[in-house]
Amino acid sequence: MLFSPRFRQGAKAAIPIWIAFVPSSLAWGIAAQAHGFHLGEVILMSAWVYSGPAQFAVLAPIAAEKSSLQILLAASLMNLRFLPMSTALAPYFRGVRLWRLLPAAHFIVASSFVIPYLRFRQEFESRGGATTDQAPIDGQNNLSFFLGVGITSFLVWVVGTGVGHEVAQGLPGGFEEGLKFILPGYFAGLLVIDMRGRVLPLICLATLVATIPATLLSPDWGWIATAIVVATVGWSLEQWMKRA
């Protein structure tokens, strides 16, 4: 399965992801170093958690030795987005044995989800299937393609964060302010490019502003509660307006 033609196809398709992962992994490695993380911790988190936004979310709380519950709750809520991604991919791996799916699931992230998912849909529709129940699916082949995307992107991410950590160690003093800005600046850019519609920008703006007083009121839980409340209110309003 590994290094099969289908795996190599996946690896080729992942090249845009590698290019996107280089700056973000470097930025995360640099930020982790600025927060006092050791290289081993950086590699461990990148390899085992493998989730850019969640890793970003927990850097400051871990460095500030906030409660483990708060850190885990924040990370878990962010990682809930893997549920729909994994659910959407599941039908295309039909027939694959469970012991093969279990390790493969680790490579599901937003980027490595989109490319295989769109590819599987295209291939499936080209065979004339409207739903996944109506046409044959080669789960083994699909899994090879997915692994080609997922494993190579994973390696770029892990190596990139390690390199970022080492690069940051070599920076002279006076760059602390810049180091602190790198990751928030990068994520803000990612969000604004990815935004569609009117609700999401409003949610983001409201959270940006409301987080400050909320954190001052409750340094540990203020920002988490604010993020949950703002997202829930925004989503509920959108649902209500759709029905009205």
Partner 1 sequence: MDETRVTVILVMGGLAYAARVLPQVLFIGNKFPEVWDRFLRYLSYSFICGIISNTLFVTGARFDSGTAPHRAAALVLAVFVAHRTKSPVTGMIIGTTLVLLLSWFR
Q: Which of residues 49-68 bind partner 1 (CB under 8 A)?
A: 49-51, 53-54, 56-58, 60, 62, 64-65, 68
Q: Does 219 bind partner 1 (CB under 8 A)?
A: yes
Rounded Cα gap, residues 240 and 85, in angstroms: 25
Tell me the per-residue interface mask from 3 to 32 with partner 1, x by CB under 8 A, - otherwise.
Answer: --------------------x---x-----
Residue of 106, 125, 136, 167 interacting with partner 1 (CB under 8 A): 106
Q: Which amino acid is at 52?
A: G
Rounded Cα gap, residues 242 and 17, in angstroms: 35
Smaller CB distance to partner 1: residue 14 or 75? 75
Q: For 8-43, give the DSSP string.
A: HHHHHHTHHHHHHHHHHHHHHHHHHHHTT--HHHHH
Residue of 180, 198, 240, 244 interacting with partner 1 (CB under 8 A): 180
Nearest to 27 by CA among 185, 151, 153: 185
Residue of 122, 134, 169, 239 interacting with partner 1 (CB under 8 A): 239
Smaller CB distance to partner 1: residue 120 or 223? 223
Residue of 5, 16, 84, 136 interacting with partner 1 (CB under 8 A): 84
Smaller CB distance to partner 1: residue 77 or 159? 77
Q: Does 191 bind partner 1 (CB under 8 A)?
A: yes
Positive or negative, the CA dihedral 54, 59, 60, 61 is: positive
Q: Does 199 bind partner 1 (CB under 8 A)?
A: yes
Q: Does 2 bind partner 1 (CB under 8 A)?
A: no
- What is the enclosing helix (H) or strand (E) of 198? none
User: To the nearest whole angstrom, how small is the minimum distance from the Cβ of residue 34 to partner 1?
Assistant: 11
Rounded Cα gap, residues 125 and 194, in angstroms: 26
Nearest to 200 by CA among 191, 213, 190: 191
